[in-house]
Amino acid sequence: MPSFVRKCAVGALFAVSTAAVSAATFVNVLTGGTSGVYYPLGVTLSQIYGEVIPDSKVQVQATKASAENLNLLQGGRGEIGFSLADSVSDAWKGDADAGFSKPLDKLRAVAAVYPNYIQIVALADANIKSLTDLKGKRISVGAPRSGTEINARAILKAAGLSYSDFAKVEYLPFGESVELMKNRQIDVTLQSAGLGVAALRDLSTAVKVNFVPVPADVVAKVGDSAYRSAPIPPNTYDGQTTEVPTVAINNLLVTHDKVPAEVVYQMTKGIFENLPRLGNSHAAARQIKLESAVDGLPIPLHPGAEKYYRERGLIK
């Protein structure tokens, strides 16, 4: 159990009252680009929250994902948002290179959800079979300072590469990267997303591609416990018939300390009492498990979320 969880005052948890939910409870769900996984999951969450949070007005906001979501939450311009665990850790510490000029100390965790997989996809005729083969090629690494782009920097550095080793570097979201691949304007795209992400399904059906493996020794060189070796199972995408070793990083749902505890309690409960519904919105959500909801959280757990986990026996 994370040390942040143990430090929360138990007495405060049971002072939570439904009176905290005002007559007009606004919930803005921060997601990512519309061709990623965050967006369809956010749409389903918004529908659930509209049903379970009394007198709520819920909306979904498409964003540039992790870093933007965390900055919006710090500024009180959202109530819950998706982010990669390493981005949350960087935000809490105030890592300027990751897009955080100062520590984002208002952030609070709601849940660890499903893992992202770093998926490096190359045109089949670009002759890219390994990370070393990326040198001199044209690549898209995700929107600037997005979770994907932060992941790209970490993996490329661990493989002994930098952006200067490429013929061209594009900083584009998933859908736009795929369009460049289809038009042969770039050779490879790196996308950090749940398995079966729509953009890569689209790409693999449109053109012949191959998935570039990330070996375990490269993952170890990243030096961040948030990064772990994991495979892309066979047949996740058209033409991808063998298992591909790569990297998995947990996604988190994050809120901030000004959101009332009863609202966060209802948001947390809404997630774990509607897992089949979330799984129907995207296959990646089928990996969300209550038993791992508080694993590896790099920031304090919100008291409203903690109340729910105590009720379910996840926290003693």
pLDDT of residue 145: 82
Residue count of the chain: 316
Across the range 192-210, mean pLDDT stands at 96
Alpha-carbon dihedral sign for residues 52, 56, 62, 63: negative
Per the DSSP assignment, residues forming a β-bridge with 81 are 30, 254
Look at residue 25 and tell me whether its pLDDT is greater than 50.
Answer: yes
From the list 49, 101, 126, 124, the residue with the least C-alpha distance to 80 is 49
Q: Hey, what amino acid is at 121?
A: V
Render 26-53 in DSSP notation, one character per residue. Answer: EEEEE---TTSSHHHHHHHHHHHHHHHS
The confidence band for 210, taking pLDDT boundaries of 50, 70 and 90, is: very high
Query: How far is it, in rounded angstroms, from Cα 54 to Cα 270?
Result: 12
Instruction: Dump pLDDT digits (tens) for 163-197.
Output: 999 999 999 999 999 999 999 999 999 999 999 99
Phi, psi (5° rounding) for residue 88?
-65, -45
The confidence band for 146, taking pLDDT boundaries of 50, 70 and 90, is: confident
Instruction: Dump pLDDT digits (tens) for 246-278.
Output: 999 999 999 999 999 999 999 999 999 999 999
pLDDT of residue 8: 45
Query: How far is it, in rounded angstroms, from Cα 232 to Cα 234?
Result: 7
More confident position, 206 or 6: 206
Across the range 42-55, mean pLDDT stands at 97
User: Helix H segments across the chain?
Assistant: 3-7, 10-13, 38-52, 66-74, 85-93, 147-158, 174-182, 198-206, 216-222, 261-272, 275-281, 303-311
Look at residue 13 and tell me whether its pLDDT is greater than 80.
Answer: no
Residue 199: CB atoms within 10 Å: 25
List domains and CATH numbers for the chain: 3-115+251-311 (3.40.190.10), 124-249 (3.40.190.10)
pLDDT of residue 23: 59
Report residue 174 as tokens.
């998933």
The confidence band for 106, taking pLDDT boundaries of 50, 70 and 90, is: very high
Mean pLDDT of the chain: 92
